[in-house]
Chains A and B, each alone.
Chain A
Amino acid sequence: MSDPTTLKDVYLDNNATTMVDPAVVEVMLPYFTEQYGNPSSIHSFGNQVGRSLKKARQQVQALLGVEHDSEIIFTSCGTESDSTAILSALKAQPERKEIITTVVEHPAVLSLCDYLEKDGYTVHKLKVDSKGRLDLDEYARILTERADHIAVVSVMWANNETGTIFPVEEMATMAADAEVMFHTDAVQAVGKIPMDLKNTDIDMLSLSGHKLHAPKGVGVLYLRRGTRYRPLLRGGHQERGRRAGTENMASIIALGKACELAAEKMAYENTEVKAMRDRLQEGILASVSHCFPTGDVENRLPNTCNIAFEYIEGEAILMLLNKAGIAASSGSACTSGSLEPSHVMMAMGIPYTAAHGTIRFSLSCYNTMDEMERVIEAVPSIVAQLRKLSPYWGEDGPIEDPEKLFAPTYA
């Protein structure tokens, strides 16, 4: 912590989760106390809540550019939306046993696909190049060759670690031409990229409330009218029987409001927030040697930059950043307790000298340019401090032949 009496901590981990907007908190509060009715009830308690539910649905509809409000299904989170979409596609088309996705998806999709593979499904994972971009020729080839066997294509709209944006609208059209369902995990993209789903070929889309200043525990599955669908949760008639379970009303109201605010702030996100992000990256690259941004920097979310620092390890960087009052995240193996660094960095083939030292800074509209300057000031000494400890770093640069100079005898 920096001195809490003078400076607020700088929160640059908005791709992990965001602060609930105070205006959002305000609209949700009555639904805990006064408006506690069940929207399915006939009496006035329920009736009023039912009307609010309809309004929230329309607010989400507006942000996504959806044709009918009945295409919005409220869920508990982005992961539930992803699972529902993919499992629905398999269940509705039992003769189709193959899925196309990418190697850089969020675990919400990848872990599910790995599990389905064990159950006998075939998963085609599209590879990425060194900038994290997909090869659409590879995609077209698999679509053509396996069209009758593919149940669903699931590709994220934007990558959570690098912010790299994928051409999902184009890919959805290609899938539609092959008569294959298309789902996109748009958890990181909603609220940052303008969307007009009614004019795309996207059949299903997942979003998560807590990534856009609504609370945790609420999400949405967009389901285009006419898309064949099998619910994950069956039971009551909530969400037109497509997602049973009493509605999480306070959070749904909150998500509606957050979507309304996100639409209003879309321009700010793509100008002011982007300017802060650009300044942060440029400032760090100018003052620290042996570091570089990862992903497709020309084509990424306006709020995200991911910088790889060579010869040091991410968790150690985060701990020192945290001590300086700066919150960010890392793709290093040690932060997750796994043996491998982030699958996204591995997929892009980031050099091993840097793969463990990647740091993601993700901004929101609540950050300020002053905060960026504070981070730019703090980072160089943190990096220097850890490089001083590193056996791969000499006086003022990496040792010349790290493989030879640092040579465990057993290796």
Chain B
Amino acid sequence: MWDYSDTVKEHFFNPKNARAMDDADAIGDVGSIQCGDALRLTLKVNAESEVIEDAAFQTFGCGSAIASSSVLTEMIKGKTLDEALKVTNQDIASELDGLPPEKMHCSVMGREALQAAVANYRGEVWKDDHEEGALICKCFAVDAVMIEDTVRANNLRTVEDVTNYTKAGGGCSACHEGIEEILTRVLAETGEAFNARASRQKLHASKEKPPVPGKGMSNLERIKRIERVIEMVRPQLQRDRGDVTLVDVDGDTVFINLVGACSGCQMASLTISGIQQQMMEDLGEFVRVVPVPANHAATTGVTA
């Protein structure tokens, strides 16, 4: 059985707002009985203020689908439609104290039902742009369709590339066989053969690259470059509801602060090594990236 949080169980066993709403102003239907989960979200909306005065749901689905629907209705009541649209699937999952990676799609379905309901209220047609494939990476809940699309769009060649672009394979590494299969299949479409050695050579190369000190660079120029690398990676982290800021630089040590979804994430170490790699390439010298709390004063710890 899944390791559901107590909040998920509470919302499953005692769902809130589970009923048909006959006089709904907005209806959002997503999913289908064939797929194994379907959700109807119904809203009562104040015509003047666009505030959601009441929300109800009916769900055909598993424990987490019912819990996600239930918590969503509670989250959006009292919000305006525009405020409600800012609720992400991550917000739904967080409000439930987390969902197993295999079950994240239940929170996605909740968000889609909300988008569909708002579109219905505004007389628009909501487009589902999201196709779901078989779950490949269980650590970071990345499915096959996502990996395939990313491989095609970015001409990826190696498992390492896939990890850098999608996170898939960055955790326990048990899915590397599955990622290799996808790479083999997608590369074959253009007549190319997947080469597992390319990946390994690249890994070795990056490890064995001798550190080249950044010669002739002023301190100011150096810190500006470090800042530029940080700015470059921020949008990617922010998409995952995280962020990074530069705290201090001391010799070859760069102190950064990871916040939001990044801190405590299994990926944190991978994120840090990615930033470190980019900085080394940009500066042409060896640096060590160390995560610290935001108020950390680097100089107090490292002198002496």
Asked if B37 and A318 sit within 8 Å, CB to CB, the answer is no
Q: Total interface residues on A, using CB and 8 Å?
A: 35
Asked if B103 and A311 sit within 8 Å, CB to CB, the answer is no
Asked if A332 and B36 sit within 8 Å, CB to CB, the answer is yes
What CA separation (Å) do A316 and B100 show in the bound complex?
15
What CA separation (Å) do A322 and B120 show in the bound complex?
38
What CA separation (Å) do A380 and B36 show in the bound complex?
21
Residues of chain A within 8 A (CB-CB) of B119 are 409
Asked if B33 and A353 sit within 8 Å, CB to CB, the answer is yes
Residues of chain B within 8 A (CB-CB) of A315 are 62-63
A334 within 8 A of B: yes
Asked if A389 and B18 sit within 8 Å, CB to CB, the answer is yes
Q: Which of B12, B13, B58, B61 contacts A334 (CB 8 A)?
A: B61
Residues of chain A within 8 A (CB-CB) of B64 are 334
A390 within 8 A of B: yes
Residues of chain A within 8 A (CB-CB) of B12 are 316, 319
Asked if A411 and B58 sit within 8 Å, CB to CB, the answer is no
A313 within 8 A of B: yes
A341 within 8 A of B: yes
Question: Are A337 and B29 CB-contacts (below 8 A) given A332-B62, A409-B116?
Answer: no
Question: Are A313 and B36 CB-contacts (below 8 A) given A337-B102, A389-B59?
Answer: yes
Q: Which of B29, B36, B132 contacts A408 (CB 8 A)?
A: B29
Give the nearest-CB partner of B101 in chain A. A337
Residues of chain B within 8 A (CB-CB) of A316 are 12, 61-63, 65-66
Chain A-chain B contacts (Cβ-Cβ < 8 Å), number: 104
- The list of the 4 closest CB pairs from A to B, nearest first, reads A337-B102, A334-B62, A315-B62, A391-B58
Asked if A322 and B1 sit within 8 Å, CB to CB, the answer is yes
Give the nearest-CB partner of B106 in chain A. A334
Residues of chain B within 8 A (CB-CB) of A356 are 33, 36
Q: Which of A269-297 contact B (CB under 8 A)?
A: none
B43 within 8 A of A: no
Question: Are A319 and B63 CB-contacts (below 8 A) given A409-B116, A410-B127?
Answer: yes
Q: Which residues of A contact B (CB under 8 A)?
A: 311-316, 318-320, 322-323, 332-335, 337-339, 341, 352-353, 355-356, 388-392, 402, 406-411
Q: Which of A313, A318, A390 contacts B58 (CB 8 A)?
A: A390
Q: Which of A352, A391, A411 contacts B40 (CB 8 A)?
A: A391
Q: Which residues of B contact A (CB under 8 A)?
A: 1, 9, 12-13, 15, 18, 29-40, 58-66, 100, 102-103, 116, 119-120, 125-128, 132-135, 138
* Inter-chain pairs besides A319-B13, A335-B62, A391-B60, 13 sampled, C-beta below 8 Å: A311-B33, A311-B60, A313-B61, A316-B66, A318-B1, A319-B12, A337-B102, A337-B138, A389-B66, A391-B29, A406-B29, A408-B30, A409-B29
Question: Are A407 and B29 CB-contacts (below 8 A) given A322-B1, A323-B13, A391-B60?
Answer: yes
Asked if B126 and A410 sit within 8 Å, CB to CB, the answer is yes
Asked if B32 and A333 sit within 8 Å, CB to CB, the answer is no
Asked if B33 and A352 sit within 8 Å, CB to CB, the answer is yes
Task: List 8 interface pairs A-B (beta carbons < 8 Å), by A numbering.
Answer: A319-B1, A334-B37, A337-B138, A391-B38, A392-B33, A406-B38, A408-B31, A409-B29
Give the nearest-CB partner of B127 in chain A. A410
Residues of chain A within 8 A (CB-CB) of B13 are 319-320, 323
Give the nearest-CB partner of A353 in chain B. B33
Residues of chain B within 8 A (CB-CB) of A391 are 29, 38-40, 58-60
Asked if A409 and B120 sit within 8 Å, CB to CB, the answer is yes
Max chain A Cβ within 10 angstroms of own Cβ: one of B1, B36, B64, B116: B36
Give the nearest-CB partner of B4 in chain A. A319
A308 CB to nearest chain B CB (Å)? 13
What CA separation (Å) do A409 and B29 show in the bound complex?
7
Residues of chain A within 8 A (CB-CB) of B127 are 410
Give the nearest-CB partner of A395 in chain B. B20
Max chain A Cβ within 10 angstroms of own Cβ: one of B33, B34, B125, B138: B33
Residues of chain A within 8 A (CB-CB) of B38 are 391-392, 406
What CA separation (Å) do A304 and B124 show in the bound complex?
50
Give the nearest-CB partner of A408 in chain B. B29
Q: Which of B9, B33, B60, B103 contacts A337 (CB 8 A)?
A: B103
What CA separation (Å) do A320 and B132 show in the bound complex?
28
Give the nearest-CB partner of B35 in chain A. A339
Asked if B134 and A339 sit within 8 Å, CB to CB, the answer is yes
Question: Are A408 and B60 CB-contacts (below 8 A) given A316-B66, A334-B37, A391-B38?
Answer: no
B99 CB to nearest chain A CB (Å)? 11
A194 CB to nearest chain B CB (Å)? 35
Residues of chain A within 8 A (CB-CB) of B18 are 388-389
Question: Are A313 and B62 CB-contacts (below 8 A) given A337-B135, A389-B15, A406-B38?
Answer: yes
What CA separation (Å) do A314 and B60 show in the bound complex?
10
What CA separation (Å) do A22 and B126 show in the bound complex?
60
A381 CB to nearest chain B CB (Å)? 13
Residues of chain B within 8 A (CB-CB) of A409 are 29, 116, 119-120, 125-126
What CA separation (Å) do A98 and B125 show in the bound complex?
51
Residues of chain B within 8 A (CB-CB) of A392 are 33, 38, 60
Residues of chain B within 8 A (CB-CB) of A355 are 36
Residues of chain B within 8 A (CB-CB) of A338 are 134-135
